[in-house]
Amino acid sequence: MARTIANQIEIRLTPEEQKHLTRTRAVHPEAHELFLKGNFFLHQGIRGTARSIEFFRRAIELDPGQAEAHAGLAEALCFAGIFGLYPSAKAYSEARVAALKALELDESNAAAPWQT
């Protein structure tokens, strides 16, 4: 879809950008559902943070290659450290690992860079 839009507005894409647009990955439906639940609870603030971490971790267990779940986990762990739900040092070090994994899996992941 992105390639179609780029063609319609006549943007010239570099070979590297074209490669990113043609990259496909199979989606594990249950892992994606868990990621969505994690995201839902993450956006509920302090009351949903712990549950979001659970859902992101379960999504990663089912599909370790899902960059979005790693990025979500990183964000949730940062909030857990801020809100005092987890010891800050532990939360932030785990968040960094999750964010770096998200970037390793998908360097174009917009959610991960600010966690590193």
62-114 pLDDT, tens digit per residue, is: 999 999 999 999 999 999 999 999 999 999 999 999 999 999 998 876 665 55
pLDDT of residue 5: 65
Q: Write the DSSP assignment of 50-106 as a string of letters.
A: HHHHHHHHHHHHH-TT-HHHHHHHHHHHHHHHHHTSS-HHHHHHHHHHHHHHHHHH-
pLDDT of residue 38: 98
In this structure, is residue 102 part of a structural domain? yes
Q: Which two tokens stand for residue 14?
A: 């570099």
Question: Which distant-in-sequence residues (6+ apart) come within 8 Å of 48 by Cβ?
Answer: 40, 41, 42
In this structure, is residue 19 part of a structural domain? no
Say which CATH number the domain at 37 has: 1.25.40.10
| CA proximity to 78, closest of 104, 52, 58, 60 | 52
pLDDT of residue 65: 93
In this structure, is residue 66 part of a structural domain? yes
Q: Encode pLDDT of 16-66 as tens digits.
A: 666 666 666 678 899 999 999 999 999 999 999 999 999 999 999 999 999
In this structure, is residue 10 part of a structural domain? no
Residue 94 sits in which domain range? 28-115
